[in-house]
Amino acid sequence: MDSFGDSVDGLFFYSKLLAWYRKQDRPLPWRILWNKHRDPWHIWVSEIMLQQTLIKSVMPVYERFLKQFPSPLALAEAPQEDVRLAVRGLGYYRRFDLLHKACRRLQVKKIPLPVSYEGWLELPGIGPYTAAAMASITLGLPHGVVDGNVERVFCRLLDIRTEPNLPALKKRFKKIMDDICQMGSAGDVNQAVMELGQIICTPSSPLCIKCPLKPVCRSFAASSQALAPAAKAKQAPMDVNLQLEIRHTDSFVQLFLRPADAKFLKGTWGFSTSQGHGTEWLPDGKVIGTIKHSITKHRITADVLCRAQNSLEPASDRKPLAFEDVEKNLVSNLDRKAWNLFEQSKKSPVFGAKIKRTAKISESILSQL
Ligand code: SF4
């Protein structure tokens, strides 16, 4: 195997890795469904959900999502809001907007699912990684995937002590993976290397004793697992202060549709959001607490304000909801944390008095306008 050079016996790698993977037979729902139905939709959904998201977070959402949207057509016919609600809490919602868009494109053009790597690559939301995963797992085509797990496994096998995601290294690992996939069972090869990285060759304290590649691993031989690869330079998170304002009556709450150009959570329904700090007492509202939340590289500290109102009007970008319906209509964990805070403060004996007081203030301000 050229791409490994003289470093690793490719045939040994291939046979040991596949034997280990098949013995594992990890009962992940998307694998069980694929083995039963051979429906690429089941794999496509899993590949999108697993982007930047842990398996344990995906599990409960995955099966619920497939029940609601059993095919690309079912997803194409659903309103975007239903799609968002079906994946609430997973974050990175744009990937699901793009999945929705891809299904709509297939529906409008009346075309079946792609049958080549290039065909997958043409769909919205599908990059080289997902196209290779779909082509190899569902079509058996020899396209290797390279993710963080694959990079780490190869850096250790070859005892490469630089950062793992340098472009030249990625290219080299891609070539190795493509070559190994050429040997057959490409889908299993891809999943096997990723799984080895997830459960054996983990970032810290790899379980080398259980590793099928131990006899050919240079890091194991050199005891350099902690050095290969070098830690990626971490980008410091950006601190952001937000205000979430919960406008409510005695039994209703106003949700707002965040605009398409919003900095965070664009296109989601949630509480009125603005940047900056809240003040202790507003003319007609109160800060009920502060929540912490992370979105991509942003570390958010959000003051949660509540503002009692006499009535709430619906509009295209706002909808009043009964208290009991609010939680299930919130997509983001940021809004859900704010809602929890509101519900806790609602239990406080002084809350009712405060609502009345702030409502009165609202009224008096309104009467002065
Ligand atoms: S032997 Fe250890 S360091 Fe080498 S690939 Fe296996 S788990 Fe990773």
pTM (two decimals): 0.86
Portions of the chain given CATH number 3.90.79.10: 238-368
Check pocket membership of 206 for ligand 1, CB cut-off 6 A.
Answer: yes
Mean per-residue pLDDT for 323-332?
A: 95
Q: How far apart are CA 273 and CA 290, in angstroms?
A: 14
* Confidence band, pLDDT 50/70/90 cuts, at residue 360: very low
Check pocket membership of 40 for ligand 1, CB cut-off 6 A.
Answer: no
The pLDDT of residue 352 is above 60: no
pLDDT in tens, 29-71: 999 999 999 999 999 999 999 999 999 999 999 999 999 999 9
190 close to 179: Cβ distance less than 8 angstroms: no
pLDDT in tens, 204-234: 999 999 999 999 999 999 999 999 999 888 8
pLDDT in tens, 95-145: 999 999 999 999 998 889 999 999 999 999 999 999 999 999 999 999 999
Residue in the block written with tokens 């842990």: 54
Distance from residue 250's CA to the centre of ligand 1 (Å)? 60
Q: Which residues are catalytic?
A: 47
The pLDDT of residue 369 is above 70: no
126 close to 102: Cβ distance less than 8 angstroms: yes
The lowest-confidence range among 76-90, 124-138, 289-303, 337-351 is: 337-351
217 close to 156: Cβ distance less than 8 angstroms: yes
Give me 12's structure tokens: 């040994």
Q: Return the CATH architecture of domain 238-368.
A: Alpha-Beta Complex (3.90)
The neighbour count for residue 45, using CB atoms within 10 Å, is 23
194 burial type by CB count under 10 A (0-12 exposed, 13-18 middle, 19+ buried): buried
Phi and psi (nearest 5°) for 332? -90, 145
Whole-number Cα distances in Å, 123 to 77, 99, 117, 141: 17, 9, 11, 18
The pLDDT of residue 329 is above 80: yes
Mean per-residue pLDDT for 341-363?
A: 60
CATH code for the domain defined by 2-145+171-198: 1.10.340.30
Portions of the chain given CATH number 1.10.340.30: 2-145+171-198
Give nearest CA residue, ligand 1 atom 1. 214
DSSP 38-100: --HHHHHHHHHHTTTS-HHHHHHHHHHHHHH--SHHHHHHS-HHHHHHHTTTS--THHHHHHH
Average pLDDT, the chain: 90
